[in-house]
Copies of this chain bind each other. A is one copy, B any other.
Amino acid sequence: MAAQLTRRERQRQNTLAEIRAAARHLLVTQSPAAVTINAVAREVGMTGPAVYHYYAGLDDLHAAMTTAFFEELAGAMTAARDACPATQPGRRLLAIARAMRQWAITHRPEYCWLFTRPAPPADQRRPDSPEHRAALGFERVWLEEAATLWETDPFPVPDLDELDPSLRKQLRAYSATTGGRLPPEAAHVFLTSWIRLDGLLCMEVLNQLSFAFTDVTPLFEECLREVATKFGISYERPV
Protein backbone atom coordinates (compact mmCIF):
# COMPACT_ATOMS: atom_id res chain seq x y z
CA MET A 1 0.00 0.00 0.00
CA ALA A 2 3.00 2.25 0.48
CA ALA A 3 3.66 1.83 -3.20
CA GLN A 4 0.32 3.39 -4.01
CA LEU A 5 1.44 6.64 -2.47
CA THR A 6 3.14 9.17 -4.62
CA ARG A 7 6.73 10.00 -3.96
CA ARG A 8 5.65 13.22 -2.27
CA GLU A 9 3.18 11.49 -0.02
CA ARG A 10 5.80 9.00 1.05
CA GLN A 11 8.21 11.80 1.83
CA ARG A 12 5.55 13.48 3.86
CA GLN A 13 4.84 10.35 5.89
CA ASN A 14 8.55 9.99 6.50
CA THR A 15 8.85 13.52 7.77
CA LEU A 16 5.79 13.10 9.99
CA ALA A 17 7.37 10.01 11.52
CA GLU A 18 10.72 11.74 11.86
CA ILE A 19 9.11 14.59 13.75
CA ARG A 20 7.32 12.17 16.06
CA ALA A 21 10.58 10.33 16.66
CA ALA A 22 12.36 13.57 17.50
CA ALA A 23 9.58 14.53 19.90
CA ARG A 24 9.77 11.16 21.57
CA HIS A 25 13.52 11.44 21.83
CA LEU A 26 13.14 14.75 23.62
CA LEU A 27 10.53 13.27 25.94
CA VAL A 28 12.74 10.32 26.84
CA THR A 29 16.08 12.08 27.13
CA GLN A 30 14.80 15.32 28.65
CA SER A 31 11.28 15.74 29.95
CA PRO A 32 7.69 16.25 28.81
CA ALA A 33 8.24 20.00 28.99
CA ALA A 34 11.17 19.73 26.59
CA VAL A 35 8.87 18.57 23.80
CA THR A 36 8.40 21.93 22.11
CA ILE A 37 7.85 22.79 18.50
CA ASN A 38 11.12 24.66 18.30
CA ALA A 39 13.19 21.96 19.98
CA VAL A 40 11.68 19.30 17.73
CA ALA A 41 12.35 21.46 14.69
CA ARG A 42 15.99 21.86 15.66
CA GLU A 43 16.24 18.10 16.15
CA VAL A 44 15.10 17.38 12.59
CA GLY A 45 16.97 20.33 11.09
CA MET A 46 14.12 22.69 10.30
CA THR A 47 13.03 26.03 11.58
CA GLY A 48 10.11 26.13 14.00
CA PRO A 49 7.36 27.30 11.67
CA ALA A 50 8.17 24.51 9.20
CA VAL A 51 6.76 21.99 11.66
CA TYR A 52 3.36 23.61 11.24
CA HIS A 53 3.21 22.15 7.75
CA TYR A 54 3.09 18.73 9.39
CA TYR A 55 1.25 19.26 12.65
CA ALA A 56 -1.32 21.94 13.34
CA GLY A 57 0.42 22.95 16.55
CA LEU A 58 1.86 21.67 19.77
CA ASP A 59 -1.41 20.07 20.87
CA ASP A 60 -1.68 18.21 17.61
CA LEU A 61 1.87 16.91 17.91
CA HIS A 62 1.18 15.83 21.48
CA ALA A 63 -1.96 14.00 20.35
CA ALA A 64 0.01 12.24 17.64
CA MET A 65 2.55 11.12 20.20
CA THR A 66 -0.20 9.81 22.46
CA THR A 67 -1.74 7.90 19.56
CA ALA A 68 1.57 6.36 18.57
CA PHE A 69 2.33 5.32 22.16
CA PHE A 70 -1.06 3.68 22.62
CA GLU A 71 -0.63 1.81 19.36
CA GLU A 72 2.84 0.60 20.27
CA LEU A 73 1.69 -0.47 23.74
CA ALA A 74 -1.33 -2.29 22.36
CA GLY A 75 0.94 -3.92 19.79
CA ALA A 76 3.27 -5.22 22.50
CA MET A 77 0.27 -6.61 24.36
CA THR A 78 -1.27 -8.35 21.37
CA ALA A 79 2.10 -9.76 20.39
CA ALA A 80 2.54 -11.29 23.84
CA ARG A 81 -1.04 -12.53 23.70
CA ASP A 82 -0.56 -14.20 20.34
CA ALA A 83 2.47 -16.05 21.65
CA CYS A 84 -0.02 -18.07 23.72
CA PRO A 85 -2.57 -20.40 22.17
CA ALA A 86 -6.01 -18.86 21.73
CA THR A 87 -7.47 -21.85 23.51
CA GLN A 88 -5.97 -20.68 26.79
CA PRO A 89 -7.43 -17.23 27.47
CA GLY A 90 -6.22 -17.43 31.08
CA ARG A 91 -2.59 -17.67 30.10
CA ARG A 92 -3.18 -15.03 27.48
CA LEU A 93 -4.59 -12.69 30.10
CA LEU A 94 -1.47 -13.04 32.23
CA ALA A 95 0.74 -12.57 29.20
CA ILE A 96 -1.09 -9.38 28.29
CA ALA A 97 -0.73 -7.96 31.78
CA ARG A 98 2.97 -8.75 31.91
CA ALA A 99 3.57 -7.28 28.48
CA MET A 100 1.82 -4.15 29.56
CA ARG A 101 4.03 -3.69 32.60
CA GLN A 102 7.10 -4.61 30.59
CA TRP A 103 6.36 -1.91 28.07
CA ALA A 104 5.54 0.55 30.85
CA ILE A 105 8.81 0.11 32.73
CA THR A 106 10.98 -0.04 29.64
CA HIS A 107 9.21 3.03 28.28
CA ARG A 108 8.55 4.84 31.50
CA PRO A 109 8.39 8.40 30.17
CA GLU A 110 5.99 7.31 27.46
CA TYR A 111 3.74 5.46 29.87
CA CYS A 112 3.73 8.40 32.27
CA TRP A 113 2.84 10.55 29.31
CA LEU A 114 -0.20 8.38 28.59
CA PHE A 115 -1.26 8.37 32.20
CA THR A 116 -0.84 11.99 33.06
CA ARG A 117 -1.92 13.53 29.79
CA PRO A 118 -4.78 15.83 30.67
CA ALA A 119 -7.72 13.55 29.96
CA PRO A 120 -10.92 15.52 29.56
CA PRO A 121 -14.00 14.14 31.31
CA ALA A 122 -15.88 11.51 29.34
CA ASP A 123 -18.60 13.91 28.27
CA GLN A 124 -16.37 16.24 26.31
CA ARG A 125 -14.25 13.95 24.20
CA ARG A 126 -14.09 13.50 20.49
CA PRO A 127 -14.89 9.81 20.22
CA ASP A 128 -13.64 9.67 16.65
CA SER A 129 -10.23 11.24 17.17
CA PRO A 130 -7.28 8.98 16.37
CA GLU A 131 -6.13 9.51 19.94
CA HIS A 132 -9.35 8.18 21.40
CA ARG A 133 -9.50 5.31 18.97
CA ALA A 134 -5.97 4.26 19.88
CA ALA A 135 -6.83 4.40 23.59
CA LEU A 136 -9.87 2.24 22.93
CA GLY A 137 -7.79 -0.23 20.98
CA PHE A 138 -5.46 -0.51 23.94
CA GLU A 139 -8.25 -1.04 26.45
CA ARG A 140 -9.90 -3.57 24.22
CA VAL A 141 -6.97 -6.00 24.24
CA TRP A 142 -7.49 -6.83 27.89
CA LEU A 143 -11.26 -6.60 27.61
CA GLU A 144 -11.51 -8.94 24.62
CA GLU A 145 -9.47 -11.60 26.31
CA ALA A 146 -11.46 -11.35 29.54
CA ALA A 147 -14.67 -11.64 27.54
CA THR A 148 -13.35 -14.71 25.73
CA LEU A 149 -12.40 -16.23 29.06
CA TRP A 150 -15.86 -15.48 30.40
CA GLU A 151 -17.49 -17.11 27.40
CA THR A 152 -15.33 -20.23 27.36
CA ASP A 153 -14.73 -20.75 31.05
CA PRO A 154 -16.84 -18.41 33.21
CA PHE A 155 -15.17 -17.17 36.38
CA PRO A 156 -16.88 -16.72 39.77
CA VAL A 157 -18.75 -13.45 40.10
CA PRO A 158 -20.30 -11.56 43.01
CA ASP A 159 -24.02 -11.43 43.55
CA LEU A 160 -25.32 -8.32 41.82
CA ASP A 161 -27.94 -7.77 44.52
CA GLU A 162 -25.29 -7.41 47.16
CA LEU A 163 -23.47 -4.63 45.37
CA ASP A 164 -24.05 -0.97 46.02
CA PRO A 165 -26.99 0.25 43.89
CA SER A 166 -24.98 3.03 42.30
CA LEU A 167 -22.19 0.62 41.45
CA ARG A 168 -24.71 -1.83 40.01
CA LYS A 169 -26.08 0.85 37.75
CA GLN A 170 -22.63 1.82 36.50
CA LEU A 171 -21.74 -1.81 35.88
CA ARG A 172 -24.90 -2.27 33.84
CA ALA A 173 -24.02 0.77 31.77
CA TYR A 174 -20.51 -0.49 31.20
CA SER A 175 -21.75 -3.96 30.39
CA ALA A 176 -23.86 -2.41 27.66
CA THR A 177 -20.78 -0.80 26.09
CA THR A 178 -19.22 -4.25 25.75
CA GLY A 179 -22.22 -5.28 23.69
CA GLY A 180 -23.29 -7.53 26.52
CA ARG A 181 -20.26 -9.77 26.13
CA LEU A 182 -19.55 -9.20 29.82
CA PRO A 183 -22.62 -9.09 32.05
CA PRO A 184 -22.50 -6.53 34.89
CA GLU A 185 -21.27 -8.94 37.54
CA ALA A 186 -18.47 -10.19 35.28
CA ALA A 187 -17.65 -6.59 34.41
CA HIS A 188 -17.14 -6.00 38.11
CA VAL A 189 -14.47 -8.68 38.32
CA PHE A 190 -12.91 -7.45 35.11
CA LEU A 191 -12.82 -3.80 36.13
CA THR A 192 -11.58 -4.26 39.67
CA SER A 193 -8.80 -6.51 38.41
CA TRP A 194 -7.85 -3.96 35.82
CA ILE A 195 -7.80 -1.20 38.39
CA ARG A 196 -5.55 -3.15 40.72
CA LEU A 197 -3.02 -3.93 38.03
CA ASP A 198 -3.07 -0.53 36.40
CA GLY A 199 -3.21 1.31 39.73
CA LEU A 200 -0.07 -0.46 40.85
CA LEU A 201 1.61 0.26 37.54
CA CYS A 202 0.57 3.88 37.73
CA MET A 203 2.11 4.29 41.16
CA GLU A 204 5.25 2.53 40.04
CA VAL A 205 5.92 4.61 36.94
CA LEU A 206 5.00 7.82 38.75
CA ASN A 207 7.69 7.01 41.29
CA GLN A 208 5.21 6.81 44.13
CA LEU A 209 6.57 3.55 45.47
CA SER A 210 10.24 4.34 45.69
CA PHE A 211 9.82 5.36 49.32
CA ALA A 212 9.60 1.64 50.08
CA PHE A 213 10.44 -0.39 46.97
CA THR A 214 13.34 -0.57 44.59
CA ASP A 215 11.99 -3.48 42.55
CA VAL A 216 8.24 -3.71 42.09
CA THR A 217 8.31 -6.92 40.06
CA PRO A 218 7.51 -9.28 42.96
CA LEU A 219 4.70 -6.97 44.02
CA PHE A 220 3.29 -7.04 40.51
CA GLU A 221 3.50 -10.81 40.37
CA GLU A 222 1.71 -11.06 43.71
CA CYS A 223 -0.98 -8.81 42.35
CA LEU A 224 -1.17 -10.94 39.25
CA ARG A 225 -1.58 -14.04 41.36
CA GLU A 226 -4.55 -12.49 43.12
CA VAL A 227 -6.02 -11.40 39.82
CA ALA A 228 -5.59 -14.94 38.51
CA THR A 229 -7.53 -16.19 41.51
CA LYS A 230 -10.33 -13.74 40.83
CA PHE A 231 -10.48 -14.95 37.24
CA GLY A 232 -10.38 -18.56 38.31
CA ILE A 233 -7.29 -19.23 36.23
CA SER A 234 -4.08 -20.84 37.34
CA TYR A 235 -1.22 -18.50 38.10
CA GLU A 236 1.99 -19.40 36.41
CA ARG A 237 5.41 -17.93 37.02
CA PRO A 238 6.70 -15.73 34.23
CA VAL A 239 9.06 -17.38 31.79
Give me the interface of A with B, judged by CB distance under 8 Å.
31, 112, 115-116, 118-122, 139, 163-164, 166-167, 170, 174, 177, 187, 191-192, 195-196, 198-200, 202-203, 206-215, 217-219, 221-222
Given contacts A195-B200, A219-B192, contact A119 B206 (CB under 8 A): yes
B166, B203, B222: the one within 8 Å of A218 (CB)? B166
Contacts known (A164-B218, A198-B203, A202-B199); A212 close to B174, Cβ less than 8 A: yes
| Contact in complex: A199, B210 (CB < 8 Å) | no
B-side contacts of A170, CB under 8 Å: 212-215
The majority secondary structure among interface residues of chain A is helix
Cβ-neighbour of A115 out of B198, B200, B206 (below 8 A) = B206
User: Which B residues are in CB contact (< 8 Å) with A199?
Assistant: 195-196, 198-200, 202-203
Bound form: Cα–Cα A32–B236 in Å: 43
Chain B positions within 8 Å of A166 at CB level: 215, 217-218
Q: Using known A-B contacts A166-B215, A170-B212, A219-B192, determine if residue A118 contacts B31 with beta carbons closer than 8 Å.
A: yes
In this complex, what residue of B is CB-closest to A194? B212
Given A116-B206, A122-B211, A166-B218, 16 new contacts (CB under 8 A): A115-B208, A119-B206, A119-B208, A120-B207, A122-B214, A139-B211, A163-B218, A166-B215, A166-B217, A167-B218, A167-B222, A170-B213, A170-B215, A187-B212, A196-B199, A202-B208
Q: Which residue of chain B lies nearest to A167 when distances are taken between CB atoms in the complex? A: B218
Bound complex: CA A121 to CA B206 (Å): 10
Residue numbers in B under 8 Å from A219 (CB-CB): 167, 192, 195
Given A199-B196, A202-B203, verify A119-B210 contact (CB < 8 Å).
yes
Whether B195 lies near A202 (C-beta < 8 A) is no
A211 contact set on B, CB distance < 8 A: 122, 139
Nearest residue (CB) in B for A120 is B207
Instruction: Give complex CA distance A207, B210 in Å.
Output: 23
Known: A31-B118, A118-B31, A164-B218. A198 touches B208 (CB 8 A): yes
